[in-house]
Chain A
């Protein structure tokens, strides 16, 4: 049985891959890591581009979240936002501690609402930047 345990560990490693702001930003199909005011956005550019692919007339809320340490945290947040009809798409990046939420351009994005949704899952949203596509 010990051999089975070691085999399981080995196999799993082999399988493995290795303050509230509202800012309008011209995206033009790629991510500028630095916004016009000099602030760094700190999102994964590849992940961001994949997220916005196919999205039109949208705005993206980039939310910094504290306490996201595992997939269960991410899953709870994802489930909550998917229930919101105004949300077009959501992505949780655990490594950066970011949640990307896509809304229609005409939708008013309220940080307090996002903060509340994240809080009911046990994490804390600390700030938000909104990008227009």
Chain B
């Protein structure tokens, strides 16, 4: 039970921080994630739009412990069109202090109005398992550059550990360098994700 819970926490954590995995060239990103079980801080730097590397720290509220991860993300493919962008990323994480690692892919297609994202990852832990999600979104209005932006989204996720599929609403607010994402599910409660890019 303890191991299951621990792995579940790590799974939820990875789900939260994989949004916007690479910044523009020379961009720094700080992400903060919090819910009733954990709090995490993730920093990454993108020397190029093609890859980013960073470090993240997870404070586990359940076990009252923290762990650090090294992260690397690589853009496998990007297709730019006049009104859309499509991306496919490779993602990985490695914990020097523990045996927790993961690798996977993350994809998205986005216009100024619509968003479709998906992810699949294999987590190597005491028990190996995989995790997948799909996220759909719509912007209720189109703001100009620098305006306050809003996305209304729905996310569905499933992992092979608990075999349960959860689908829940997510709302994303975005202005300037700051992004705030809120998700709520009856089973997993609130996901709160704050990001600052500079």
Of A4-12, A30-38, A102-110, which binds chain B?
A4-12
Q: Chain B 66-110 against A: per-residue CB contact (8 Å), 1 yes, 0 no?
A: 000000000100101111110000000000000000000000001
Q: Chain A 1-25 against B: per-residue CB contact (8 Å), 1 yes, 0 no?
A: 1100100110011011110000000
Closest to A123 in B: B80
Q: How many residues of A contact B (CB 8 A)?
A: 34
Q: Give the contacts of B37-86 with A (CB-CB under 8 A).
A: 48-50, 75, 78, 80-85
Q: Assess whether B23 is interfacial by the CB under 8 Å rule.
A: yes
Closest to A64 in B: B82
> Given A5-B171, A12-B148, A95-B144, A72–B20 Cβ distance below 8 Å?
yes
A9–B152 CB distance below 8 A: yes
**Which listed residue (A1, A69, A75, A77) contacts B83, Cβ 8 A?**
A69
For B23, B145, B176, which residue has the most chain A Cβ atoms within 10 angstroms?
B145
**Which listed residue (A17, A69, A71) contacts B85, Cβ 8 A?**
A69
Within the assembled complex, what's the spacing in Å between the Cα atoms of A96 and B198?
25
For A8, A70, A121, A123, which residue has the most chain B Cβ atoms within 10 angstroms?
A70
A-B CB contact pairs (8 Å), 14 listed: A1-B184, A8-B171, A16-B148, A71-B145, A71-B174, A71-B176, A72-B24, A73-B24, A75-B177, A93-B145, A120-B49, A121-B25, A122-B50, A123-B80
Interface residues of A (CB under 8 A from B): 1-2, 5, 8-9, 12-13, 15-18, 66-67, 69-77, 79-80, 92-95, 97, 120-124
